[in-house]
Amino acid sequence: KQEVTQIPAALSVPEGENLVLNCSFTDSAIYNLQWFRQDPGKGLTSLLLIQSSQREQTSGRLNASLDKSSGRSTLYIAASQPGDSATYLCAVLETSGSRLTFGEGTQLTVNP
């Protein structure tokens, strides 16, 4: 059974700091990995999708890497801003089915 773990559970940083969020998964048989952002009481916004054959994806100040063999992904946020405050979720799409398996998320607070 696939398990996805995100560390840390919560993170508070001053504005302008670069930061890394971690995601690990137990079964490397995945199609892809997605990073999402969720604001309180809101839906999910897809940030980055990394296919299993890819090593990283970049969008603006965000960079996500994937090491499938070791079951790890990182989301790097450069020059953090208060507007980045949200919960960040990692999810993997397994080859055995069509479901996304989510981590519990990292709650990020960027202080002005």
Partner 1 sequence: NAGVMQNPRHLVRRRGQEARLRCSPMKGHSHVYWYRQLPEEGLKFMVYLQKENIIDESGMPKERFSAEFPKEGPSILRIQQVVRGDSAAYFCASSPTPYTYEQYFGPGTRLTVT
**Site residues (vs partner 1, CB under 8 A):** 31-32, 34, 36, 41-46, 49, 51, 89, 91, 93, 95, 97-105
Q: How far is the CB of 17 from partner 1 (least distance, A)?
A: 26
Q: How far is the CB of 111 from partner 1 (least distance, A)?
A: 24
Which residue, 1 or 112, is less far from partner 1 as judged by CB?
Answer: 1
In 21-60, which positions are buried (b, 16+ CB within 10 angstroms) versus exposed (e)?
bebbbeebebebbbbbbeeeeeeeeebbbbeeeeeebeee
Q: How far is the CB of 4 from partner 1 (least distance, A)?
A: 8
Which residue, 76 or 102, is less far from partner 1 as judged by CB?
Answer: 102
Residue type, 52: S
